Chain A
């Protein structure tokens, strides 16, 4: 019998989801209660993950279909913390749209459950199951503000395109199963002797599916529309949490079974990375809606993350994980600012609405300034270090072309971040926004901004934590 303690967080979250669902159905007006209980659930799950799995080295469970290692523990913790903060921030926003319902926390919980399964998966079937669980929850979340046309459109679009990519992914899985005779990552790795070209087809299909999930170019088409249409808190969730899970699967899928085929897939990842970096930088320039702009900028950032994955080394993987962690913090900070642009129960999300913000809201503008310079990768802010580690790993492998293209696209990207700063600081001011914000919003903004600003004083901690992740 396997040690069930190791999957205790997953078991706990799934039981809580069922319990909360029943509670929500039978008890009237229980949205606040469900909401609070969901927060508690996530907290408990974080504690369980830290207690049960954090110090462990690689262990496989259930005939090798689930793997618990440093990467899975760390990524689960980041996922859970991200979900916790997003959920916390959401309540005010949802209330002002009158969509504060029991389904919201439950859907978030179930998608988190799906992501946790994805992160731990060591088998194509388990991985697919986790992926679908999180995707199904996300479709509903995207269209959660169902009275709004854009939100429904976002949900539908996401559903159709995502289903298509899932189909491709599943086809890839079946190809790999057909040619290697197994769905287990370790078994595939051991049997990887013949039929390499046939397997490459399978890899490509799965990569397409995964690239869709993390919105890498050229599979990014859905992102801007879905990001714009979804409720802002859901967009925040989209930009942070699913990417962590998908990146973990990306890494595990490429490095555990198919490391020997690195010659086959490395070029694909390099292409995805370069295309995402350049496209993300250029397409964001013309945007007028902040959420759309964030969609393009997140495409660009995924490009940098993939640059680390493309190296084929442990350092590369670690740098990607550092990148995505810092990126998550920056995004949290950016969206916290965005959620503060509220006046008379109405939220503003146009870039022009930021005009002259620094006159009336000096602190908020200063935070935005720090966040945007950090996103642009200007030292000494955290965003610079994220890029620095990635390019350090990339240059170690002598992939100079990737490094130079990447750094040049940061210059292009700097342009649109500067444009926002220009609007905030150099332009004429507009009406004041509300200044009484919930404690959650204030906390997450202060916390993440300080983290970004002062990261350079203690850069070693994160590195040490991540450097224990050894996949190869």
Chain B
């Protein structure tokens, strides 16, 4: 048996958290706590880079698979990665250290506990992306609620209690139906092992109901219209690092779930429910873009833009075309980077002025030029300017959509325009214009750590915008096989 690299990825943050747990939480110790957490997450990132390098891109079968008996004759602890999941793991391990660097500006009290929560969160998220057993997946998927609930509730803004409850109960409500479906799959097919289920297939007469049960969970988590309302609240109240985790990684769990489980396990039902997903996605794209236009709170605006972007993702996945699915994966990755960066940008000005309202800013380009440049880069990436990462995904999704359904694609294309509208308008109102608020003159430009974080995010945003090839090489074979398997299943039906 090889070195259990995936399990160590999952375990390392927990070990770090345990270590932190036994250090004393004093003010002078905060720095130590931060270094410990940073060390654990950076090592984790390096391991995942190694994982990516040694990953065999020519096959779609799962690699680095580990399997252990967990509950005898019932569930095996099984993890593994393919071309789709490995990139999400990379995203997770890349974003988490940045979150940890960003905390010294945002989190004032109980820093140690905050870092523990973030580390545990990272473990669970990596677990979600490499679980190859439905029950193990569910376990990680749900367990992430606990640290996120605490992150929002303890370190959040004034309405944090309401938001934390809303977040927790909404997502829990969505997930319990998935649990029923998972247990049903066990009794129908005799296993919850994903690889075995791919081969066995699930009886067509059960697929629709099971698909809906999974959908209820993923739709809430994505979030899709009309169950997206928890997201703006959670984002607005969460501390910056929490918003970043939420936007960059948590939302991707559902998109990943759609690809891995909804399409993979229920091909026939996915075909049946495509119109439903299309409708909801298009509504999400158009409707929430309009809502985003009307927002006065910067964080809320970006939260709504997340909903719109995730609308593109679900649209792309259910085109069930090569381009569409690849585009969705790329879109999720780019949204992971860009939305994280945007939330951090909002965090930067919020830390200085303690206001998230757009109208309290304006004309800051002369005061903090470095910030304004980086903010512009991410704004442009968010609206999908060619040459930025945001463009690649959106373009592919629309290409896939045009192949599948012309009308939907046309409507969705309007979303791109709206996206440009609200993002540019936001940028204009915050950065350009006349300097009205005198307090703004005292603002300092980016400090070292902020500069570091935003540059770390800017580099891949530009790099993969010009040269997304390495990512495509990784996902290509897996996606092709997924689509082929899907088409085969449909044909045999």
**Are A and B subunits of one complex?**
yes
Does A463 sit at the interface, judged by CB under 8 A? yes
Which residues of chain A from 384 to 406 have any CB-CB distance to chain B below 8 Å in the complex?
384, 388, 391-392, 395-396, 400, 403-404
Alpha-carbon separation in the docked complex, A471 to B95 (Å): 53
Interface membership of chain A positions 337-365, coded 1 if the CB is closer than 8 angstroms to chain B and 0 otherwise: 00000000000000000000000001000
Complex Cα distance, B154 from A380, in Å, reads 21
Which stretch of A70-78, A79-87, A197-205, A409-417 is in the interface? A409-417
Contact (Cβ within 8 A) A414 B161: no
**Interface digits, A362-379 against B, CB 8 Å rule (1 contact, 0 not)?**
100000000001000011
A13 to B317, CA, bound (A): 67
Q: Does A464 contact B (CB under 8 A)?
A: yes
10 examples of A-B residue contacts, CB within 8 angstroms: A380-B139, A384-B139, A392-B183, A395-B180, A395-B184, A407-B177, A408-B173, A418-B165, A421-B149, A422-B164
Q: Are A378 and B143 in contact (CB under 8 A)?
A: yes
Chain B residues, Cβ within 8 Å of A396? 187
B165-A407 in contact (CB<8A): no
In the bound complex, do residue B70 and residue A426 qualify as a contact, i.e. CB atoms below 8 Å apart? no
Within 8 A of A (CB), among B68-125: 69-72
B345: interface (CB < 8 Å): no
10 A-B pairs with least C-beta separation: A407-B176, A379-B139, A395-B183, A379-B142, A460-B72, A411-B173, A459-B71, A379-B143, A426-B153, A392-B183
Chain A 272-293 residues near chain B, CB threshold 8 A? none
Is residue B329 within 8 Å, beta carbon to beta carbon, of the partner chain? no
Give the interface of A toward B (CB within 8 A).
362, 373, 378-380, 384, 388, 391-392, 395-396, 400, 403-404, 407-408, 410-411, 414-415, 418, 421-422, 425-426, 456, 459-460, 463-464
Nearest residue (CB) in B for A391 is B183
Residue B138 is within 8 A (CB to CB) of chain A in the complex: yes
Taking A425-B150, A459-B71, A463-B71 as known contacts, 12 extra A-B pairs with beta carbons closer than 8 A to each other, sorted by chain A number, are A379-B139, A379-B143, A384-B139, A384-B142, A388-B179, A388-B183, A400-B180, A410-B176, A415-B169, A422-B153, A460-B70, A460-B72
By secondary structure, the A interface counts as: helix
Shortest distance from the beta carbon of A350 to any chain B beta carbon, whole Å? 19
Could you tell me the distance in whole angstroms from the C-beta of B213 to the nearest C-beta in chain A?
Answer: 9
Q: Is A422 a contact partner of B70 (Cβ separation < 8 A)?
A: no
Residues of A within 8 A of B180 (CB): 391, 395, 400, 403-404, 407
| B161→A422 contact, CB < 8 A | yes
Interface residues of B in 152-171 (CB under 8 A from A): 153-154, 160-161, 164-165, 168-169
Cα–Cα, bound, A400→B187 (Å): 12
Min Cβ gap B115→A in Å is 15
CA distance A379 to B179 in the complex (A): 11
Contact assessment for B143 and A426 in the assembled complex, using a CB-CB cutoff below 8 Å: no
Q: Is the CB of A411 within 8 A of B71?
A: no
- B138 smallest CB distance to A (angstroms): 7
Q: Does the CB pair B183–A418 fall under 8 Å?
A: no
Q: Are A422 and B165 in contact (CB under 8 A)?
A: yes
Partner of A407, one of B154, B164, B179, B184: B179
Instruction: Compute how far the CA of A80 lies from the CA of B252 in the bound complex, rounded to whole angstroms.
Output: 49
Q: Is B172 among interface residues, defined by CB-CB distance under 8 A?
A: yes
Shortest C-beta distance, B164 to chain A (Å), equals 7
Instruction: Identify which of residues 161-208 in chain B touch chain A, using a CB-to-CB cut-off of 8 Å.
Output: 161, 164-165, 168-169, 172-173, 176-177, 179-180, 183-184, 186-187
Interfacial residues, chain B to chain A (CB-CB below 8 A): 25, 69-72, 135, 138-139, 142-143, 145-146, 149-150, 153-154, 160-161, 164-165, 168-169, 172-173, 176-177, 179-180, 183-184, 186-187
Alpha-carbon separation in the docked complex, A384 to B145 (Å): 13
Task: Tell which of B25, B135, B154, B172 touches A411, judged by Cβ atoms closer than 8 Å.
Answer: B172
Chain A residue contacts of B149, Cβ below 8 A:
418, 421
Tell me the minimal C-beta distance from B465 to chain A in angstroms. Answer: 38
Report if A414-B139 is in contact (Cβ < 8 Å); known contacts: A391-B180, A407-B176, A426-B161. no
Minimal Cβ-Cβ distance residue in A for B173: A411
Residue of B nearest to A427 (CB): B161
Name the one of B71, B135, B139 contacting A460, with C-beta atoms under 8 angstroms. Answer: B71
Instruction: Considering the complex, give the chain A residue whose CB is closest to the CB of B183.
Output: A395
Which chain A residues border B145 with CB–CB below 8 Å?
378
- With A426-B154, A426-B161 in contact, do A463 and B72 touch (Cβ < 8 Å)? yes
Residues B168 and A414 in contact, CB atoms below 8 Å apart: yes
Q: How far is the CA of A372 from the CA of B70 in the complex (A)?
A: 25
A464 to B25 CA separation, bound complex (whole angstroms):
42
Q: How far is the CA of A404 from the CA of B71 in the complex (A)?
A: 24
Contact residues in A for B160 (Cβ distance below 8 Å): 426
A403 to B186, CA, bound (A): 15
Also in contact, A392 and B169, with CB within 8 A (given A407-B179, A426-B160): no
CA of A403 to CA of B184, assembled, Å? 11
Who on chain B is nearest to A410 by CB?
B176
B187: A residues at CB distance < 8 A: 395-396
Of the listed residues A380, A396, A400, A459, the one surrounded by the most CB atoms of chain B closer than 10 A to its CB is A380
Residue of B nearest to A409 (CB): B176
Residues from chain A with a CB closer than 8 A to the CB of B150 are 425
Let me know if B169 and A404 touch, CB within 8 A. Answer: no
Most buried by B among A400, A403, A411: A411
* Residue in contact with A380 in the complex, picked from B143, B164, B168, CB distance below 8 Å: B143
Bound-complex Cα distance A460 to B74 (A) = 10
Q: Which residues of B contact A408 (CB under 8 A)?
A: 173, 176
With A378-B146, A391-B183 in contact, is A411–B169 under 8 Å at CB? yes
CA distance A415 to B177 in the complex (A): 17
Least CB separation from B186: chain A residue = A392
Residues of B contacting A400 in the complex (Cβ-Cβ under 8 angstroms): 180, 184
In the complex, chain A residues whose CB is within 8 Å of the CB of B161: 422, 426
Q: Which residues in B have their C-beta under 8 angstroms from that of A407?
A: 176-177, 179-180
| Chain B hits for A373, CB < 8 A | 146
Q: Given the complex, which residues of A lie within 8 Å of B71, measured CB to CB? A: 459-460, 463
Name which of B135, B138, B168 has the most chain A CB atoms within 10 A of its CB.
Answer: B168
A373–B180 Cα distance when bound, in Å, is 20
Chain B positions within 8 Å of A421 at CB level:
149, 153
Q: A463 — which chain B residues lie within 8 A by C-beta?
A: 71-72
Give chain A nearest CB distance to B15 CB in angstroms: 14
Minimum C-beta distance from B147 to chain A (A): 11
Max count, chain B CB within 10 A of own CB: residue among A379, A391, A404: A379
Q: Closest approach, in angstroms, between the C-beta of A20 and any C-beta of chain B?
A: 43
A437 to chain B, nearest CB (A): 21
- Report B18 CB to chain A, min CB distance, Å: 12
Min CB–CB distance B13 → chain A (angstroms):
15
Q: Are A459 and B70 also in contact (CB < 8 A) when A378-B146, A408-B176, A415-B165 are?
A: yes
A422 contacts across to B, CB distance below 8 A: 153, 161, 164-165
